[in-house]
Amino acid sequence: MGVMNITPDSFSDGGSLYKGGPDMDAVRRRAEQMVADGANFLDLGGESTRPGADPVGEQEELDRVIPCVEALADLPVTLSIDTSTPSVMRESAARGAGLINDVRALTREGALATAAELQLPVCLMHMQGSPQTMQQDPSYDAVVLEVRDWLLDRVEACAAAGIAREQILLDPGFGFGKTVGHNLALLEGLSALTATGHDVLVGLSRKSLIGKLIGREVHERLPASLALAVLAAERGARIIRTHDVRETADALAMVSALANPDRAGE
């Protein structure tokens, strides 16, 4: 899954797809490149949710995301919409989006009912707190079990609202209200999530846990991001959210080759 941030304040790419609004030529070029590089999903986001990011208004989020969905709907890839906002879900679905990726797991007013009505697959992510405050003092008794159980409670809420369980993906939310220790425990214990039977999506690409572990700046985090992607795939993650599609696809091809040696090569 390739990351496309349609924001002026992205932590990782400094808003290269946004020049006072979505830069449609740059958006199209980046999307085509990611598809050529092997992306199966493009994740379009109009709200930065990195630690400390400011919230975005509903109309602003629509103005950022919807033109991009329109411009990319013909690509042979599933458009994932990184949003918590019901109107963004609705307008994106009407233009061909194929996945709702909500870092707030459909907890915003109206989001659950909207997702159920649209009948699209949804990714439910765990976050402790809000993007503004989540890294101030993250705290858990048993992080893996708490994250799993919170996500399973959200699955029940989705099922009660009429979302098919097969349509629900789970994501532990690396970096969202977690210390480095919490993040590492969640990665090591990822099988607790895959054992639920839901497909698991992870986003570790360029995140600050890497900076905290090895002191690399954002643009020096590719090798460590690839290692984390491989470790997550080994532990059963099915979708890897990344800024670097070509490199990540190569790394994941090696995981697949080892998992299916008879089908590899020649």
For tokens 């411009």, name the residue: 71
Q: Which single residue brings its beta carbon nearest to ligand PT1?
A: 203
- Annotation marks residue 178 as catalytic: no
Q: Which is nearer to ligand PT1, 100 or 116 (CB)?
A: 100
Residue 57's Cβ-count burial label (10 Å; 0-12, 13-18, 19+) is: exposed
Q: Where are the alpha helices (DSSP H) in 48-95?
A: 58-72, 86-94
Virtual torsion, Cα 173, 236, 161, 159, nearest 10 deg: -140
For position 175 contacting ligand PT1 by CB under 6 A, the verdict is yes
Q: Which of residues 14-33 bind ligand PT1 (CB under 6 A)?
A: none
- Annotation marks residue 207 as catalytic: yes
Cα–Cα dist 122/89, whole Å? 10
Q: Which of residues 187-216 bind ligand PT1 (CB under 6 A)?
A: 201, 203, 207-208
Residue 149 CB, nearest distance to ligand PT1 (Å)? Answer: 18
For position 41 contacting ligand PT1 by CB under 6 A, the verdict is no
For position 78 contacting ligand PT1 by CB under 6 A, the verdict is no
Residue 204 CB, nearest distance to ligand PT1 (Å)? Answer: 7
Residues 6+ away with beta carbon under 8 Å from 29:
none
Phi and psi angles of residue 123, each rounded to the nearest 5 degrees, phi first: -105, 120
Q: Return the residue of 6, 39, 93, 103 that touches ligand PT1, per CB under 6 A.
A: 103
Residue 260's Cβ-count burial label (10 Å; 0-12, 13-18, 19+) is: exposed
Q: Which is nearer to ligand PT1, 11 or 18 (CB)?
A: 11
For position 62 contacting ligand PT1 by CB under 6 A, the verdict is no
Residue 46's Cβ-count burial label (10 Å; 0-12, 13-18, 19+) is: buried
- In the DSSP assignment, the letter for residue 262 is G
Residue 206 CB, nearest distance to ligand PT1 (Å)? Answer: 7
Residue 141 CB, nearest distance to ligand PT1 (Å)? Answer: 22
For position 82 contacting ligand PT1 by CB under 6 A, the verdict is yes
Cα–Cα dist 106/125, whole Å? 9
Residues in contact with ligand PT1, total (CB under 6 A)? 19
Residue 264 CB, nearest distance to ligand PT1 (Å)? Answer: 29
Q: Where are the alpha helices (DSSP H) in 99-200?
A: 111-118, 143-161, 180-188, 191-194
Q: From residue 135 to residue 174, what is the string marking binding to ligand PT1 with x (rule CB under 6 A)?
A: ------------------------------------x-xx
Question: Where on the chain is the footprint of ligand PT1 (CB under 6 A)?
Answer: 11, 49-51, 82, 101, 103, 123, 125, 171, 173-176, 201, 203, 207-208, 241
